[in-house]
Structure 1
Amino acid sequence: MKIEIWSDVACPWCYIGKRRFETALAAFPHRDSVQVVWRSYQLDPSLPDHYDGTTLEYLSTRKGMAPAQVAGMFAHVAEQAKGEGLNYRFDDVVVANSFSAHRLIHLAAAHGLQDAAKERLLSDHFEHGKDIGSQDYLTSLGLDLGIGAAELEELFGTDKYADEVRLDFEEGRALGITGVPFFVIDRKFGLSGAQPAETFSNALEQAWQESRPLTMVSAAGAGGDAETAAACGPDGCAV
């Protein structure tokens, strides 16, 4: 079973949703048969590499909301994050464009390190005030993950994986995704937002049941043969 998650490193609900999904997946009996793929999404592609201002100033300007209202929103989201064991520090968040961070996640995926990269980027952005638009920071993170310096130099010296990031954007739009996090199971089931773990559990179970082929049950023990038992087919009924 394949689960694709459209998410932005700069999205506070995406980290909360990641934790709630992980809680559900850890309790899922068939979790070893689940493949999780992180897809790129940007809430604000127009952001410069670095924004000269605080996250409160940025959202107040972008959404036209009063600073006090934004601060209240931050407090609510931080409380929700705390319930998932996360320590959001919005006063320290560095507002920056996340495109290069998404490219790094694609490179990490080529090394089987996609989830580790996603986790570090989200934690560093919301809990530790790291600059996700900084090439120096992203290079340091890549080295921490075990990616070679030459590959990281190539990544940031070229536009490598830029097309793959944009393809994620396009696929998301084609699926009708207008907000994140967004979870797609086997391209058949979709869940929007940081749903409770119970909702994710129910979705996993439903998708698993609907993706499994029928298992034939032998009737030999009951004096018959399941494959030769009387049945009706396109040529009529056995008599």
Structure 2
Amino acid sequence: MSEKTSIRVEVWSDVVCPWCYIGKRRLEKALAGFEHADEVEVVWRSFQLDPAYPKGPGRPVYEALAEKTGGSTAQVRAMTAQVAALAEQEGLVYDFDRATMANTFDAHRLAQLAKAHGLGAEMHERLLSAQLTEGESLGDTETLVRLGAEVGVPADEARRVLAGDEYAADVAADIREARTLGATGVPFFVLDRAYGVSGAQPVETFLSALRQAHHHSGAATR
């Protein structure tokens, strides 16, 4: 009897990225329809869309995006409303009225700590939900500690890590690796370091990539 083939799906994502949450849900739908989903390992990796954004509690997302894009608040509201409508099709209810823009480096360090506890996927989901649907500020240390504790990361350990620079090198390494693989934005999905899917593509695109990777993996083991 041959061993089961295994597919490793690495996902580079930023936890304030609305397209990343949409892409996550579409990948999950593809996995739900994939015949060999039990052979797939999904690994979440860090990425920062705006590493230069100031650290701190953050600013209202409409205000921050208007300043960044040079557009009006009305234009930003229209743009985010379109994204929210797409998110709703995936069962996500975005709340841009309460959302804040924050530097995500510490949130990614927390996610790296969670990964060390075997909770990487749970932490990534919790951070995306907190940012995009609940209006939490991911630039606030105590908020991050609380969110970590909700998925099982010890609060004292999270607070200690966030007070220093632990896991900073891991976050930086993930970002460098994404650049090396050709990512210019996120979400960015890499299957077995052989197939890439850039952006929140349709479910069918993910399903096709999964089947292609599985076929290639099976052929490689023969």
TM-score normalised by structure 1 residue count? 0.87
**CA offset digits 1:182-204 (Å, max 9, x no partner):** 10001110001101111111110
Of 151, 155, 162, the residue aligned with 2:168 is 162
Residues 146 and 155, structure 2, Cα contact 8 Å, conserved in 1 = no
Of 95, 98, 109, the residue aligned with 1:92 is 98
Which secondary structure does the structure 1 equivalent of 2:189 belong to?
Answer: strand
Which secondary structure does the structure 2 equivalent of 1:180 belong to?
Answer: coil
Distance 1:202 1:54 in 2: 38
Residues 47 and 175, structure 2, Cα contact 8 Å, conserved in 1 = yes
Residues 58 and 103, structure 2, Cα contact 8 Å, conserved in 1 = no
Instruction: Give 2:56's aligned residue.
Output: 50
Of 19, 27, 30, the residue aligned with 2:25 is 19
1:10 aligns with 2:16: yes
- Structure 1 residue ranges, 4+ long, deviating more than 4 angstroms after superposition: none
Which secondary structure does the structure 2 equivalent of 1:91 belong to?
Answer: coil
Distance 1:138 1:183 in 2: 25
Q: Report the alpha carbon displacement of residue 94 of structure 1 after superposing the two structures with TM.
A: 1.4
Identity among equivalent positions (%) equals 50
Residues 50 and 95, structure 1, Cα contact 8 Å, conserved in 2 = no
Distance 1:189 1:198 in 2: 15
After the TM superposition, which residues 9-158 of structure 1 pair with which residues of structure 2 at under 5 Å, given as runs? 9-50=15-56, 53-158=59-164
Q: Report the alpha carbon displacement of residue 215 of structure 1 after superposing the two structures with TM.
A: 8.0
Q: Report the alpha carbon displacement of residue 214 of structure 1 after superposing the two structures with TM.
A: 6.7
Q: Specify whether residues 203 and 52 from structure 1 end up closer, same or farther in structure 2 by C-alpha distance, changes over 3 A only.
A: closer
Residues 10 and 122, structure 1, Cα contact 8 Å, conserved in 2 = yes
Distance 1:123 1:102 in 2: 14
RMSD: 1.5
Q: Report the alpha carbon displacement of residue 154 of structure 1 after superposing the two structures with TM.
A: 2.3
Instruction: Give 1:212's aligned residue.
Output: 218
Distance 2:41 2:8 in 1: 5
After the TM superposition, which residues 216-231 of structure 1 pair with which residues of structure 2 at under 5 Å, given as runs? none
Larger Rg: 1
Q: Report the alpha carbon displacement of residue 146 of structure 1 after superposing the two structures with TM.
A: 1.7
Distance 1:27 1:155 in 2: 39
Segments of 5+ residues of structure 1 without an aligned counterpart are 217-239
